[in-house]
Amino acid sequence: MKMLFRLIALGLLGVFALIAFSLSAPEAAFSAQPTLQPTETAAPLTTPTSVPTPPLLDLPEVDWEDVGAHKKAMKPAFADDVDRFVDANRYFIVARLSFEPDAVFRAAQRVRFTNRTGEALDLLVFRLYANTPALGGRMNVHHVEVNGVKVEPSLSNLRSVMGVPLPVPLQDGESVELRMDFTLVMTRGLNTSYGRFGYVNDVVSATAWYPTLSVYEPGIGWWTDLPSPQGDPSYTEIGLYEVQLTLPAEMVVAMSGVIVETRRNADGTITYRDVTGPMRDHAFQASKRYMVTETRADGTRIVMLHYRDQADSPTDGTKVAMQYAVQALQIFNATFGEYPYAELVVAQNPTPSGVEFPGIIQIAERAWVQGNRFLEVVIAHEIGHQWFYALVGNNQVALPWIDESLTSYTEFVYFRAAYADPKVGEDYVDSFQQRYTNYLARGLPDLPLDLPVRSYVGISYGAIVYTKGPLFFVELER
């Protein structure tokens, strides 16, 4: 057992060396932290698709007081918790995804915002994260209404911040409904932000794919920072989502929440109706390459999206990936409190490592093989994020250590509980210490933990947040 762990630890150390010190490392060596941008192996970049302004979509009215459908996304014991979030940020999104050959979204959304700031507001701020250099998409919002009145929004910070003026100031406790029509283009073959957003290898990874309400911080105002190219690019509050997504019938899709209705259309597309419980973001994965394998653990349906064209390979990692996911969910349920949602999706993906979203995790396609010990590490890490980031939120851009260091600590929690030999957990802590010591031995700065992402230049982000950080939490536990 100790030898098994040392193989994992050596793999992690090998990749940390690759990232931090530009040394060579074997292909099997990875790191649980987001690592290098992936090398594109699919089609070359295409000429960017030009999307003319489409007509306004047919967008039904929404009864915001009815949250019954959202309870379907929760495990029965947690269904009534949804009632507490009636006044949370609410999204109703209708979207159509086509391939031209880029991935093109034509969409509209209704958003209800209830002012809980304690102040009167004359402006709401939405983030168009897709327009940031970190994500590299092209989002255009071409129509905005506030309570049925057309308004002209303003754009700033590289078109990633959209200010929506309110015709009448919104008092504390009051609500307002907005309508937005928008398009989004993901350039085929352009994989950015660790693979969390893009259309690569025939896989659509959609996060930050809709205009998102920013966070209003008392005494400061709306959060409008431009995220760093490294680290997580967004900062959001919990909300309730209903999404109607139409895409070609050959695409297999999984989303945050649960799909409660499926409709086949005469034009060869399928429309999926998805609802969530209280979640911090909405994301989905879609590909014609995917097939589904599923099981249940502790009352949650675990859905594996994995490549159909690799399923018959003797090295396919789906079976062991499922084992690791079940084990991680059970350990963290017992340690941190029960995962409240009805589903958890684990998706094979072109990411170089792993990325988390509420109810969905992406796992590196190159790690999805039997015998690759990093597969266990990254699944444990990303499932740990379902507690730290997804349930317990923080500003991931300003204080990345709160979720990333805690989640790296959950790797130790996982290995300590998953293996009978107590040395496994001890050796895992030693691996954090060794990577941190190696970093310092090069004379590199021992930066504080509580800095924003952009303050960590190059290798310092991984060394401080992903090794020094979990060591702090281990000591805190002791």
Between CA 92 and CA 413 the distance in angstroms is 38
- The structure tokens listed for 76 are 């029965």
Q: Up-side HSE of residue 83: CA atoms within 13 Å toward CB?
A: 3
Between CA 469 and CA 195 the distance in angstroms is 24
Q: Which residues pair with 269 in a beta bridge?
A: 248
- The structure tokens listed for 471 are 């060591």
DSSP H or E stretch at residue 101: none
Q: What angle do CA 330, 332, 335 make, to 5 degrees?
A: 110
Dihedral pair phi/psi, residue 97, rounded to 5°? -110, 125
For residues 139 and 182, the answer to whether their CB atoms sit within 8 Å is yes
Q: Annotated binding residue at 385?
A: yes
Q: Annotated binding residue at 282?
A: no
Between CA 42 and CA 438 the distance in angstroms is 36
Q: Which whole-number Å values give the CA distances from 314 to 38, 235, 293, 309, 369, in the listed order?
A: 25, 41, 17, 12, 9
Between CA 70 and CA 8 the distance in angstroms is 40
The total number of residues written for the chain in this structure: 478
- The total of other beta-carbon atoms located within 10 Å of residue 321's CB is 25
Q: Are strands 154-156 and 161-170 parallel, antiparallel or unpaired?
A: antiparallel
Helix (H, G, I), strand (E, B) or coil at 64: coil
Helix (H, G, I), strand (E, B) or coil at 159: coil
User: Is omega for the bond preceding 227 within 30 degrees of 0, making it cis?
Assistant: no
Q: Annotated binding residue at 404?
A: yes
Between CA 28 and CA 378 the distance in angstroms is 13
Residue set of the binding site: 381, 385, 404
Residue set of the binding site for Zn(2+): 381, 385, 404
